[in-house]
Each structure stands twice: as structure tokens, then as C-alpha cells.
Amino acid sequence: MENPEIIIKLTPDEALVLSDWQERVQMTDLGRLVDDAAVWAPLHRIAGTLDKSLPGIFSADYAERLEAARRRLGPAPDDGSGDHEGTGS
């Protein structure tokens, strides 16, 4: 029997960074990026799930938490894994 739902697991850092990005994108002219009306339902569902799962988004130190999560997720300064040089060789 096929599973009726898809489950995506994110770390708290991934969820925080994704939530912030999605909020910023929604504040722009998202209609230019999302040209398929069917995409809106899952986008709103993801945003709502993230909002409910991340109580820290309303805390006074949100900016510091977000920046710390970005640092942890980003490549190390001397790590070339963030760029795609050499991919496919």
C-alpha cells in the first residue's frame, strides 16, 4: 500500500533557515516566481508547519538564532564544498 503522505525531516537549523527564506520570498513579488497556482497550497502548508514547529521565531533573540543556524549550515570558510568547481569531473 502506498503511503498517502510525504514526510520531510529537517534539523532545527534547516527549518529555521528555510522558514526565514520562505518568509522573505513571500514578502517579495512571489507571483513572479510561482507561476503555477497549484504550488501555493503546499507552500502555505510548509510555512504553517514551520511556524508551528519553531516557537523561537517569535523570540527576542530570533536574529541571533537565525545567524547561528546559518553559520552552522554554511560551508566552513576554507571549505570548497559550497562551490561547484570540479563537479562532474
Q: What is the mean pLDDT of the chain?
A: 82
Return the higher-pLDDT residue of 20 and 34: 20
What is residue 54's predicted lDDT score, i.e. its pLDDT?
92
Per the domain annotation, does 67 fall within a domain? yes
Average of per-residue pLDDT across 18-36: 81
Average of per-residue pLDDT across 3-15: 91
Pairs from 4-13 (Cβ < 8 Å, separation ≥ 24):
12/54, 12/69, 13/69, 13/72, 13/73
Per the domain annotation, does 5 fall within a domain? no
Could you give the C-alpha distances from 43 to 18, 30, 64, 67, 85, in angstroms and in order?
12, 11, 26, 23, 32
Per the domain annotation, does 79 fall within a domain? no
Per the domain annotation, does 87 fall within a domain? no
What does pTM read for this prediction?
Answer: 0.73
Domain range for 36 is: 12-73
